[in-house]
Amino acid sequence: GQNIDQPTEMTATEGAIVQINCTYQTSGFNGLFWYQQHAGEAPTFLSYNVLDGLEEKGRFSSFLSRSKGYSYLLLKELQMKDSASYLCAVLDSNYQLIWGAGTKLIIKP
């Protein structure tokens, strides 16, 4: 079967750095997305990786290792508004998007 694993919940301090990991086992791979979802709201697109390496976008970076079936989302200079769930999703060989259950990130002052 297809599977995406992410930690259920993480806690970090305002101003710090946090890394949210995602491991996947899917039938094929055509890219990995990270989405942010605030409570009661819709997911918003953060990043897309299809090649190995690090993609940086301001305070957020996303890393991919296809050989390890692994990605992480790195958030720097954390702000209170970054408190949200972060969902990892993989596009499989049929171009179906397989979603993780999300990691709830709690930011403390």
Partner 1 sequence: DAMVIQNPRYQVTQFGKPVTLSCSQTLNHNVMYWYQQKSSQAPKLLFHYYDKDFNNEADTPDNFQSRRPNTSFCFLDIRSPGLGDAAMYLCATSRGTGDNQPQHFGDGTRLSIL
Dihedral angle, C-alpha 53, 56, 104, 4, nearest 10 °: -30
From 12-20, 55-63, 65-73, 101-109, span contacting partner 1 (CB under 8 A): 101-109
- Which is closer to partner 1, CB of 35 or CB of 72? 35
Number of residues counted as binding partner 1 (CB under 8 A): 23
In the complex, minimum distance from the CB of residue 45 to partner 1, in angstroms, rounded to a whole number:
4
Q: How far apart are CA 29 and CA 90, in angstroms?
A: 7
Q: How far apart are CA 59 and CA 43, in angstroms?
A: 18
- Tokens encoding 49: 């990786």
Interface with partner 1 (CB under 8 A), residue from 2, 16, 41, 77: 41
The Cα-based distances of 41 to 6, 37, 57 in angstroms read: 20, 6, 22
- Tokens encoding 39: 């409570």
Interface with partner 1 (CB under 8 A), residue from 11, 14, 16, 50: 50
Residues near partner 1 (CB under 8 A) are 4, 8, 30-31, 33, 40-45, 48, 50, 87, 91, 95-97, 99-102, 104
